[in-house]
Structure 1
Amino acid sequence: MKSVLVFKTSVGKEKEVQQIRPSLNKLMQKNEQWNFDLEDCDKILRVETVHLTAKTIKNTLQTFGYQCEEL
């Protein structure tokens, strides 16, 4: 069953999203997706996934030096 994980992040610019994009794409399986809402004050990352955990997403962003907290 697909679940939706929602995170508050410190990613603030589109160029930062482009930096993270390859790593997030590698984590995704078919029919899974992710997106950032940089207009939101919490810089929301939304991930639709069947198999990923919040910890995996959080660790991936922290590797790039960004804060990430599940909401």
Structure 2
Amino acid sequence: MKKNLMISPFYKKHNINIRIHVFKTNIETEADISIIKVLFNSFSKIKQWSIDLEDIDNVLRIEATKNLSQRVIIQNVKSKGFYCEELD
């Protein structure tokens, strides 16, 4: 079975301009998340984001418009003093 069959046609139609970015970070606390929240709330291109503090890689997942690059996200997270690397 093809993977793309698992995504609903509704989602594909309405989120055609959305790209999902996944990063490994050292964001570990609620205080860290507060810092990142202020940063991400200033980006109109970011539609949703989350950080999994229970994952060993403290995974940051971002849903953004396709014209927001991984490089820009990484630079901005690093500007706040955090480690950030794209996961494959």
TM-score by length of 1: 0.90
* Residue in 2 that maps onto 1:39: 54
8 Å CA contact retained: 2:25, 2:59: yes
Mean Cα deviation higher: 39-48 or 20-29? 20-29
* Residue in 2 that maps onto 1:49: 64
8 Å CA contact retained: 1:4, 1:47: yes
* Higher RCO, Cα 8 Å, sep 6+: 1
* Residue in 1 that maps onto 2:32: 16
8 Å CA contact retained: 2:25, 2:84: yes
8 Å CA contact retained: 1:11, 1:43: yes
8 Å CA contact retained: 1:7, 1:68: yes
Structure 1 residue runs of 4+, over 2 Å off?
none
Which of 1 and 2 has greater Rg? Answer: 2
* Residue in 2 that maps onto 1:60: 76
Identity of aligned residues (%): 34
CA distance in 2, matches of 1:22, 1:34: 12
RMSD: 1.3
Q: How many matched pairs?
A: 70
- Give 5+ residue unaligned stretches, structure 2: 1-16
* Residue in 2 that maps onto 1:69: 85
User: Against the structure 1 CA distance between its residues 4 and 65, is the aligned structure 2 distance closer, same or farther, given a 3 Å change threshold?
Assistant: same
